[in-house]
Amino acid sequence: MSSIGKMMKQAARMQQQMEKVQADLAQRTIEATSGGGAVKVVAKCDGTIASIHIDPQAINPADAQLLEEMILTAANQALSQARDIANAEMGKVTSGLQLPGFM
CATH code where residue 11 lies? 3.30.1310.10
pLDDT confidence band for 2 (50 / 70 / 90): confident
Mean pLDDT (whole number) for 64-85: 93
Task: Please check whether residue 74 lies inside any domain of the structure.
Answer: yes
pLDDT at 25: 86
Q: What is the 3-state secondary structure (H, E, C) of the chain?
A: CCHHHHHHHHHHHHHHHHHHHHHHHHHCEEEEEECCCCEEEEEECCCCEEEEEECHHHCCHHHHHHHHHHHHHHHHHHHHHHHHHHHHHHHHHHCCCCCCCCC
pLDDT category at 103 given cuts 50, 70, 90 is very low
Q: Is 40 a domain residue?
A: yes
Beta carbons of 52 and 71 less than 8 angstroms apart: yes
65: in domain = yes
Q: Which domain holds residue 33?
A: 3-94
Instruction: Give pLDDT, residue 102.
Output: 44
Q: What is the pLDDT of residue 89?
A: 87
pLDDT band of residue 1 (cuts 50, 70, 90) is low
- 30, 77 contact by CB (below 8 A): no
Q: Is residue 100 included in any domain, yes or no?
A: no
- Report yes or no on 102 lying in a domain: no
> Domain for residue 101, yes or no?
no
Number of domains the chain is built from? 1
